[in-house]
Amino acid sequence: MDKDKHNETYVSNILNDQLEGIMSDESNIDIKVGTSFSTWEDAEIKLNQYAKFAGFSLRRKRVESDNNRIVRCRTFECSFSGKSISNQIIDITHQRQRSSQKIICPWHINLTMPKSSTEVSITSITGEHNYSMITDIHLYAPYRKLSNEILEKIEFYVNKGNMESKQIYPLLVASFPDQYIYKRDLYNAIQKFKSPLTNRHGDTQNMINKLFELKDQEPGWIIYTRLDPFDNRLVGLF
């Protein structure tokens, strides 16, 4: 194996290990009564992450605001909640030939942000479903792959704005509030629109190549590199 190939494989392994760690952290979301979130937006993002890994999808059911239009209570339910309405009682002009997703699933969760608190907290959970979880949860509408419009935005931010995932993510969330943006999908899209680290021949890459060359000459050398798992940038060299 030549030196360039060796370096490329080494860097790729580091990146994959760090990405797997981040995906593991995202899947390890604690949802129980008393769990708190900094904002309603953060709560909804975390609940959607939880639902995706559990094998179902969420939808908003109820929201209550105070006199100042500050949201104080909110309920989310399983997308299979509710009861189907028979076509016999619907105006024929509004009928559609499709099967209903409503099967009266009881799963729902209540959250509040009382005036005495600045955090959103889970107050109650009905955690039972009346159907089997679906492993291909990405097929649900809220979790489908990134739309072409979102991909165009990402490509613009990467190539024209030279922006990183930490900058791009909040912009996408604000621009597409009804679309769940999964960070792993964002990472993959960013990598699609930018050159891999190992194909860049700037000063940093030249330095890494030189260090690995010296390491091959001196077996006692130990080199540690740290990469940003989303932006593929070198952030540490030891």
pLDDT digits (tens, 9 = 90+) for 8-56: 444 444 444 444 444 444 455 678 999 999 999 889 888 888 887 777 8
Tokens in use for 88?
């016999």
Task: Answer for the pair 211, 175: CB distance below 8 angstroms, yes or no.
Answer: no
Q: Distance of CA 8 to CAs 1, 41, 196, Å?
A: 11, 39, 10
- Note the helical H segments in 28-164: 40-54, 148-159
Residue 136, helix vs strand vs coil = coil
- Determine, yes or no, domain membership for 101: yes
- Determine, yes or no, domain membership for 61: yes
- Determine, yes or no, domain membership for 51: yes
pLDDT, residue 71, reads 94
pLDDT, residue 188, reads 83
Domain count for the chain, please give it.
1
Sign of the four-CA dihedral 119, 46, 61, 131: negative
Residues with Cβ < 8 Å from 221, sequence gap 6 or more? 214, 215
- Determine, yes or no, domain membership for 99: yes
- Determine, yes or no, domain membership for 16: no
Cα(120)–Cα(113) distance, rounded to whole angstroms?
A: 5
pLDDT, residue 183, reads 77
- Determine, yes or no, domain membership for 52: yes
User: Whose CA is closest to 99, among 82, 88, 84?
Assistant: 84
Share of the chain above pLDDT 70, in %: 56
Q: Summarize pLDDT for 142-172 with one digit per residue, the tens.
A: 555 788 899 999 999 988 888 888 889 888 8
pLDDT greater at residue 4 or residue 218: 218
- Determine, yes or no, domain membership for 54: yes
pLDDT, residue 88, reads 45
- Determine, yes or no, domain membership for 234: no
Q: Which domain holds residue 116?
A: 33-136
Residue 63, helix vs strand vs coil = strand
